[in-house]
Chain A
Amino acid sequence: MKLHPVKLLFLQLLVAVVALAIWQVGATVPIGGKYLLPEFFFSKPGDVLTRVYTLFATGVIWKHLWITLTETVLAFLIGSIAGVVFGFWFARQPNVAAVFDPYVKMFNALPRVVLAPIFMLWLGLGIWSKVALGVTLVFFIVFFNVYQGVKEVSPVVLANARMMGMNERQLFRNVYWPSALSWMFSSLHTAVGFALVGAVVGEYLGSSAGLGYLIHQAEGVFDVTGVFAGMVILAAFVLVIDWGVTRIERRLLVWRPQSASGQN
């Protein structure tokens, strides 16, 4: 049975309230002379919220958010464009795909975090080493999706388009391209998510600005409140980006049946 929306919202809020209450009680009320969640390791919900407020009120956070957003967007754009181009190329040229296949698999199997120090060495501590890390993550998602999209164009739709008299260029524009694009968009959430992971992990490992940097700094001085505040802001940031992506996706994939787009 489906929950009434108001009831659903109430229950969702209830989860947050209970969790925060347990946290608060665990950190402030001693049980048998001991704190369940010592403040030094877990901070307090009130402190974390105050810190979040301070970060926004003083305006310190905007610079970091802006840096992380810039890195995310750049990683997403560069990774996507490269993924589309190579995905297309490989799908239309099976021989090229066959030659590069083991290397693509090898590179994709590599945990990308190990590349971060190398990118830092090559590109410095600025935003580009983070962008590069994000690109290596985004590229493969988009690449595999576009490759699949071009490969799995319905043979009937293709035959129909050919019978209509389409030449290669027109087939590309009207059949292959929309098909590949729809596969790419269906991986949009994952791709954007990975772009952000690349940015934050990169910042965490070495940088002078960004949300990852903020969290890392706080950790360095055992400022647990700061770490949690950074995490709260990061989570909210992801939600906002995800909401934006959903809006874009709805716009671009109107032609898709609801059930199909819901699966991805």
Chain B
Amino acid sequence: MEAALRRPVVQEAASDAAPMAVALDDVSISFAMKGQPVYKAVAPTSLHVREGEFVAIVGPTGCGKSTLLNATAGLLAPASGTVTVFGAPLNGLNAQAGYLFQQDALMPWKTALDNIAIALEIGGTRRADALVEAQEWLKKVGLGRFGDRYPHQLSGGQRKRVGLAQVLVRHPKILLMDEPFGPLDAQTRQIMGTLLLRLWAQDRKAVLFVTHDLEEAIALSDRVVIMSAGPEARIIGDFPIDLARPRDTADIRLDPRFHELHRQIWNQLKAEVAKTYGEDLAS
């Protein structure tokens, strides 16, 4: 089998020697809600992502995966612990990071092209130059002819592509993705995944990718981190994914090694999913 032949060619995406891009140390996150006791979303958790490493966080719905991502982005202050970005403690927003949101985050009043160009313009790039570069990125995500469309005139998948280009055009050193392909249909998700991997392979940023889809996580990442059900969610598993790159997110699912990894990780995740829904199912 070809897959068997491919296995030895595993590339170590981020060697142990690579410097740390993101380090979450004993980070816990709580929410104070009116008239209710403080909700401890995430128990003290540590997670390290090296430069060039693609890490996926998987967990049941509502486990605080996105919360952890928001803490890394600086959109949310952790209740305790430290967030370190390239060796420096994070203070305020994470300027090194690009964030691809789950929901539509494009400015509806700007065209696809302008939505990408603005990301450069606010950094001081001249408008003419920004437009040229934005057009290049539109081409890279396969939307070269759609520059003058407004977000509502694009499909969900196309909007995500524009969003991806909007984030990548700034060349952030860290890419944070919060279930970015969640709202898309299965077919589009795989196409987006392959596109993401192709773009990522060009300069290998550190990626923190949150998803509830284990298959997607394995297909994309170098490491899959499993989180337990909330409240007081924590990391309960950390699996290296030694599938060869470059990968096609659709084909890789047929690889025997993929199935082996899937079974191994699922066994761990299963118990957590049961815990989340257990009470509902038992009653």
Contacts and interface: CB of A to CB of B under 8 A. Distances in A.
Name, among B75, B97, B108, B151, the residue most crowded by chain A CB atoms within 10 Å (CB to CB): B108
A159 interface: yes
A167 B152 CA distance: 26
Given A163-B75, A163-B98, A165-B123, A182 B170 contact: no
Nearest to A160: B105
Interface residues of A, number: 22
Interface stretch (A22-30, A87-95, A251-259): A251-259
Interface in A137-183: 154, 156-157, 159-167, 170, 174-175, 178-179, 182
B101 interface: yes
Contact of A161 (B73, B103, B107, B170): B107
A175 B108 CA distance: 10
Contact of B75 (A159, A254, A256): A159
Contacts of A256: 108, 152
Nearest to A179: B109
B261 to A, nearest CB: 32
B104 interface: yes
Q: How large is the interface on B (under 10, 10 to 19, 20 to 34, 35 or more residues)?
A: 20 to 34
A182 B152 CA distance: 15
Given A255-B150, A255-B152, A256-B152, A162 B109 contact: no
Nearest to B108: A255
A159 B106 CA distance: 11
Contacts of A167: 122
A159 B150 contact: no
Given A163-B94, A164-B166, A178-B107, 19 more contacts: A154-B105, A156-B103, A157-B107, A159-B75, A161-B107, A163-B73, A163-B98, A163-B99, A165-B95, A166-B122, A179-B109, A182-B109, A255-B108, A255-B109, A255-B150, A255-B151, A256-B108, A256-B152, A257-B152
